[in-house]
C-alpha cells in the first residue's frame, strides 16, 4: 500500500471516529433533556436501547455463525 493510500485510510477512519463521537455526544445530550423533561419516557428510552442491544447481539451472532458455516474447512 502506498503512503498516500495509507494516509487516506487513516484520514477516513479518523473522520468516522469523529462522527461517532459527535453522534454519541448528541445522543447523550438528548438523553439528559429527556430525563429532565419526562422521566417516564426516559425509562422507556432506556428499555428500548437495551432491547436494541440484545437484538444487535443476536444478529451479530447469527451472521458470524452463518459466515463460519459457509467457509470451507481448512485441512
At 74, list the grid cell. 481448512
Q: What domain range is 22 assigned to?
A: 1-37
Instruction: Judge if 3 and 28 occupy the same domain.
Output: yes
Q: What is the mean pLDDT of residues 46-58?
A: 88
Distance of CA 27 to the CA centre of its chain: 13
Instruction: Judge if 30 and 9 occupy the same domain.
Output: yes
Find where cell 439528559 sits: 32
Instruction: Judge if 31 and 45 occupy the same domain.
Output: no
Number of domains in the chain: 2
CB-based contact 30:45 (threshold 8 Å): no
Q: What is the mean pLDDT of residues 40-57?
A: 86
Q: What is the mean pLDDT of residues 53-73?
A: 85
Amino acid at each position: 500500500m502506498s503512503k498516500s493510500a495509507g494516509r487516506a485510510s487513516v484520514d477516513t477512519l479518523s473522520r468516522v471516529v469523529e462522527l461517532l463521537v459527535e453522534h454519541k455526544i448528541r445522543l447523550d445530550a438528548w438523553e439528559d433533556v429527556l430525563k429532565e423533561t419526562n422521566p417516564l419516557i426516559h425509562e422507556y428510552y432506556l428499555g428500548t436501547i437495551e432491547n436494541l442491544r440484545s437484538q444487535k447481539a443476536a444478529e451479530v451472532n447469527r451472521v458470524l455463525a452463518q459466515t463460519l458455516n459457509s467457509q470451507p474447512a481448512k485441512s
